[in-house]
């Protein structure tokens, strides 16, 4: 199975990935909006901007026909689209000086009591703990600490290329761990 991380509650839309038409838009919105908002808000830290990011990404996906069922489950694709859109918004905000550029947070260990999906969070925490320290560190700084890759490179006195390959390696290993756990 190509979609080990999809939650049961989302099968309504997952089950009909071909139907990227009318009702699917609304179904997708209802099913996914909380998660997509969480992703957008994590990047832009502004509720209205986050709503805009989610809407903008969904409209882009629906009107652009960029999703193909062979790409796999819809939600991970949408999450990636929302993150890209959110980073675009953040960059635009920085350029226009419309908003205070938000300070990087301290990396926080994902908290399953506060997470949008507590069960998945427990699995992800175990998978994070199993990463080599250098890979775990870059995930904590870049994903949970909201540092840019350039900042991570500066903070850790590591070449940017190394930071990128560690982060990519961390994501690959997370996928392997999480899929293996699922199928066993």
Partner 1 sequence: MNHLDDDAELYALGLTDRERDAEIEAHLAECDACRARVVAAESAAAALAATLPPMPGAAPRRAWWTTAATAAALVFAATTAFESTTAHTASERLTRTDTALGAIASSHFGHTTLTSDPGVVAKALYSRDGSWVYVVANNAPPGAHVVLRSGASSRDLGALDAGAPATLFVRAPGRAAEIDVVAGDRVVAHGVPAY
The nearest distance, CB 157 to partner 1, in angstroms, is: 20
Residue 184, burial from CB neighbour count under 10 angstroms (0-12, 13-18, 19+): exposed
Please report, as residue ranges, which positions from 34 to 93 form the binding site for partner 1 (by CB under 8 A): 34-35, 37-43, 47-48, 50-52, 54-56, 58-59, 62-63, 66, 70-73, 75-77, 79-80, 83-84, 86-88
Please report, as residue ranges, which positions from 144 to 183 form the binding site for partner 1 (by CB under 8 A): 149, 164-165, 167-169, 171-172, 174-175, 178-179
Q: Give, in order, the Cα–Cα distances in Å from 33 to each of 58, 94, 101, 124, 145.
A: 10, 25, 25, 21, 23
Around Cβ 66, how many Cβ atoms within 10 Å? Answer: 12
Give the residue, chosen from 114, 129, 157, 184, that forms a contact with partner 1 under the rule CB under 8 A.
114
Number of helical H runs and strand E runs in the chain: 8, 0
Residue number, 150 or 157, with CB nearest to partner 1: 150
Please report, as residue ranges, which positions from 20 to 39 form the binding site for partner 1 (by CB under 8 A): 21-26, 29, 33-35, 37-39
């Amino acid at each position: 199975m190509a979609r080990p991380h999809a939650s049961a509650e989302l099968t309504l839309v997952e089950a009909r990935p071909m139907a990227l038409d009318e009702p699917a838009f609304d179904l997708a919105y209802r099913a996914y909006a909380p998660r997509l908002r969480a992703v957008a808000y994590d990047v832009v830290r502004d509720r209205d901007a986050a709503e805009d990011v989610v809407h903008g990404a969904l409209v882009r996906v629906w009107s652009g026909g960029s999703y193909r069922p062979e790409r796999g489950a819809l939600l991970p694709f949408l999450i990636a689209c929302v993150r890209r859109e959110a980073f675009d918004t953040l960059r635009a905000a920085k350029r226009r000086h419309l908003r205070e550029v938000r300070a990087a947070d301290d990396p926080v260990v994902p908290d399953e009591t506060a997470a949008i999906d507590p069960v998945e969070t427990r699995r992800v925490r175990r998978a994070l703990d199993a990463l080599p320290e250098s890979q775990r560190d870059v995930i904590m700084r870049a994903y949970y600490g909201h540092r840019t890759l350039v900042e991570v490179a500066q903070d850790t006195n590591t070449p940017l290329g190394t930071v990128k390959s560690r982060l990519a390696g961390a994501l690959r290993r997370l996928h392997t761990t999480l899929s293996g756990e699922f199928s066993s």
